Amino acid sequence: MYDGGVEMRRAKTGKPNRFLFWLVSLVTRIVAKVVFRRRVLRNELKGAKGPFVVIANHQTKLDFVNLFDLAGQPVHFVISDCFYSTLPFQGVMDRLGMIPKQQFQTTLTDIRRMKSVVDEGRGLVIYPAGLMCEDGLSTPIPAATYRFLSWMRADVYVARTTGTYFVRPKWSKRNRPGRTYMDVYKLFSAEDLETLSVEEIRERADNALLFDAYREQEEHKIKYHKNYDLEGLEQVLYMCPHCKSEFSIRLKDHCHLVCEKCGFRHTGDVYGFLRNTGNVGEEVRYVSDWSRLIYEELKRKVEKGEESIIVCDADVSILDRKKKRFTEAGRAKITLSGDCFLIEGVLNGEESHMVIPTTSFASLPFQPGKYLEIQCGEQIYRCFPDNGALVMKMINMVKIYYEIHTAIRFAPQ
DSSP H or E segment with residue 252: strand 249-252
Rounded Cα–Cα distance for residues 366 and 364 (Å) = 6
Burial of 36: CB neighbours in 10 Å, binned 0-12, 13-18, 19+:
buried
Query: Which residues 6+ apart lie within 8 Å of 364 measured at CB?
Result: 103, 104, 131, 358, 372, 373, 374, 375, 395, 398
Position 400 pLDDT exceeds 50: yes
pLDDT band at 12 (very low <50, low <70, confident <90, very high): low
Of 42 and 131, the structure prediction assigns the larger pLDDT to 42
Of 85 and 360, the structure prediction assigns the larger pLDDT to 85
Q: What are the CB-based long-range contacts (under 8 Å, 24+) for 107-114?
A: 109/8, 109/9, 109/11, 111/148, 112/11, 112/12, 113/9, 113/10, 113/11, 113/12, 113/13, 114/76, 114/78, 114/148
Position 166 pLDDT exceeds 80: yes
Q: What is the pLDDT of residue 32?
A: 94
- 313-327: pLDDT as tens digits: 999 999 999 999 999
Position 110 pLDDT exceeds 90: no
What is the chain's mean pLDDT, rounded? 91
**φ and ψ at residue 352, rounded to 5 degrees:** -125, 140
Please name each of the domains of the chain with its CATH number.
Answer: 18-220 (no CATH), 233-301 (no CATH), 310-409 (2.30.29.30)
Rounded Cα–Cα distance for residues 83 and 376 (Å) = 16
Q: What is the pLDDT of residue 413?
A: 40
366-367/265-268 β-pairing: unpaired
Q: Measure the CA angle with vertex 134, ends 130 and 140; round to 5°.
A: 40
pTM: 0.90
